[in-house]
Structure 1
C-alpha cells in the first residue's frame, strides 16, 4: 500500500482483562474471534446476508497484544466468487504510547448462506 493511501480499520477493539492471560498478554482464541468478526462484517456486507467461515489459514504472531492495546483489524478482499469471498485480515496493535506494531495476518474464506445454512450465491439476498 503506498504511503499516500489512508487505511481505515474494519474493526477497532481494546484488549481488556477478560481477553488476556495471567501475564497481561492477549490469548490467541480472543484474537481469532475478533478476526472472524471483522471478516464476517465485510463478507456479510458483500453477501447482503449471513455468511459462514469455511477456512482460515494458520497464523503466527510477530508481536504480542498487551492489556490496554487498541487492536486494529483491516480487511482486504482477495477473491470474490459466486458463493464465497476470500479475505486478507491484517491485525496491528496500537500501544498506549501510540506505537503501532504489526501482529499477524490471516487469509479467511466466507461462504454466503441462506437461513437454513445452505450455500447461496452472493448476489441473492437472504
Structure 2
C-alpha cells in the first residue's frame, strides 16, 4: 500500500512567460536610442602625391599638445590660425597623431577642421 496519492500531471501555462517576454521587449525598445551619430569624413594620405611645401599645413597631434607647422596651438584657435595663414582657400591639412592620442581627441580635431570651408584633411596612419 502506498501512502502517497498520485496527482494527475498539470499542463504548464506559458501565459506568464509570454507576458514577461513582452514586458522585456517593451522595456528595451523604449530605452534604446535610435538617433544617428554624427559622421566625420576621413581620408588617408597616399604615398607618391607631391605638393609644394607652401601648399600644405602639417598638424601634429599629441595627447596634451597640438602644433601647426611646428608652432604650438590651442585647438579652439586652430580655424582662425589656418584662415590667417591661407586666406580664402584652405590648402590640404595633413594630420599626424601620436600613438597615445585618444580617439575622442582625434575626433574633436577633425570636427574642428571640418568647420573650415574648403579644408581637405588627410590623416597619416601610424
TM-score, normalised by the number of residues in structure 2:
0.26
More strand by share: 1
Name the larger-Rg structure: 2
TM-score, normalised by the number of residues in structure 1:
0.26
